[in-house]
Structures are given as structure tokens and as C-alpha cells.
Amino acid sequence: MKNIKIFNGLVGIEKKFKNLSWLYSVIIFGCFFPFVSPAIALFVGLIFSFMGIRHEDIHKYTSKLLQLSIVLMGFGMSLSAVVSASKSGFLETIVSVTLVMSIGIFLGRLLRVEKNTTLLIAAGTAICGGSAIAAVAPVINSKNYQTSFALIVVFVLNAVALFLFPFVGHKLGLNQEVFGNWAAIAIHDTSSVVGAGAMYGEKALQVATTVKLIRALWIIPLSLMVAFVYKNSNQKSIKFPWFILFFVFAIIFANVFPDFQSSYEHFSWLGKRGMVVALFLIGSNITVSEIKKSGGRSFALGIILWAIIAIGSLLFLAR
């Protein structure tokens, strides 16, 4: 009888939390403020999920929101900065992206990590963290827990890298150009790359930002390649990522018609904030069982892959 009362009480609490779905509007509104980072939005979403606060109708728009955010962010990318980048930085980026994706897929199979989770972690490590994961996720139809776990791995390692890289760079006496290239290649997210570069010096910041931009543009060929190579057994045709073409169009349009720069900045800002909202929705739509399903092997994959690219690229650049 006592157990039945406890069970009924828990059910009552869960129903009360479900009635708090209006909180989604509050949090989504808050995601448009600069102090709400992607990591914070994802964490708040996870709290909502664990507390049973659900909004079933809104989650069906998550994938579309991710795609729209990627397109809008394209208006903030400068092709002129890419063209002016050094050839060595461009070559190093090509090599690092190819190697990280290849090693990531191999390690994923070795550790028996789910295919989707492996691809997302590898893409996030190889290119630009959360943005790459957000671009690839709709292409491979990843489940919420797979996308969320890949993002968690990237955000945690980003936080570590922001403080670890400048410390290691000073200890090893790396010059600013070498450090800028290293940070751009081995740190996932653009914000952490910029932060680490700024902490190290003005030249390091400039190099890191430019090389990171080149890495970010690899979202385009990677998404297209995944669309053609990846195919579920249940799929009779390839799901072409049309939003990537709109992403390319946004980049070209912004650079062909530079007179509307102020508007492009607003579009880019809206895309970044839209990404924050999408991460909140992703986090709020997973369950504890789904997180357990991904297991420690996925996190081990992210750590090992990050360590390989960080150490490997440092040895190559500092030789």
C-alpha cells in the first residue's frame, strides 16, 4: 500500500511538471540573450528532460530550426578572408579534417560506438564543433540522444581546451603563429578557438580565426559527402541536404553584395541564436535511458580522438 502511494505521488509530480510546458516559451526567449551560451541551453534542456517537463508539439521543428540556423550563419562568413589565408594553413586543414574523420570512424568501430554518434563526434572534432554536428545531424537522421551526446562531448572538451591550450603553449614556448594554427586545428568550437587565441596574443588570434574559418567551410563538402555515402538499410534513396546549398548561396550572396553588411550581421546573429534554441530543444527531448544507451564508449571516443589530433598537430607544427 505504501509503495502504491509513493508511485501515485511520483505520477502526480510528473503531471505537474508536464503542465509547466509554458516554460519553454520563457527559455526560448532567454536563448536570444548573449549570456545564454549553447552549452547552457543544452544543459537547461537536459534539466527539463530529467524533470519530465515536455512540450511534444514543438520538438518536431528542431531539425528544421537547425537547418535554418546553418543557412543564416552563412551570411556571416567571409570568402575574402578564406582566399587571403595562407596556403600552408589551408593544406594543414585539409589533412587534419581527412585524418580526423578517418581515425574517428575507425575508433568508433573499434569501440563499438553507434554509427551516427561516431560520425557526429568525428565531424565535430574535425571541423567546428557544434555547428558541424548541427549540419550533419539532419543529413544522417540522428536521434536526439545521439546528437545531444556528441554535443556534450564537444562542449566539455572545448571548456578544457580554452584553458589548457594557452598554458601548454606558454610552457612549450610556441610562437603565436604556431599556436594560432594549433588552436584552430585542435580545438572544436569557434568561440573557444577565438578565446584561446585572444589569451595567447594578437597574432595568434588572427591566425587562429582565419584557419578556423577555413575549417568551418568544410561543413559544405563534408555534409554533401555524408549525404551520398551514408545510407540506411531502410532508405531507398539518398537524402540530399538541400539546406547546404542554401548555406552556400548565403555565403556567395553576402560576398557579392557587400552593401547590405549590417543586414548580414543580423542574419548571422539570428542563426547563432537559433542554434542555441535548437540545442535547448534537443536536450529537452532526450531521456535518461537514451543517455545510458550511448554509454561511456562514446565519451571515450571523443577524448581519444581529440587527444590524437591535439598531440599530432602540435608535433607537426612545432617540428
Q: For 264-292, how does the pLDDT look when each residue is reduced to its tens digit (9 = 90+)?
A: 889 989 988 888 888 788 778 766 666 66
Q: Is residue 253 part of a domain?
A: yes
pLDDT confidence bin for 179, thresholds 50/70/90: very high
Q: Does residue 153 have a pLDDT over 60? A: yes
The structural domain count of the chain equals 1
Q: What is the pTM of this model?
A: 0.68
Q: Is residue 36 part of a domain?
A: no
Q: Is residue 54 part of a domain?
A: no
Q: Is residue 15 part of a domain?
A: no
Q: What is the mean pLDDT of the chain?
A: 78
Pairwise CA distance, residues 250 & 172, whole Å: 41
**Which of 63-67, 85-89, 249-253 is most confident?**
249-253
Q: Is residue 77 part of a domain?
A: yes
The three grid cell numbers given for residue 3, joined into one nine-digit string: 509503495
Q: Is residue 26 part of a domain?
A: no
Domain span at residue 163 reads 61-317
With b meaning 16 or more CB within 10 Å and e meaning fewer, what string describes 163-195?
eebbeebeeeebebbbbbbbbbbbbbbbbbbbb
Q: Is residue 178 part of a domain?
A: yes
Q: Is residue 25 part of a domain?
A: no
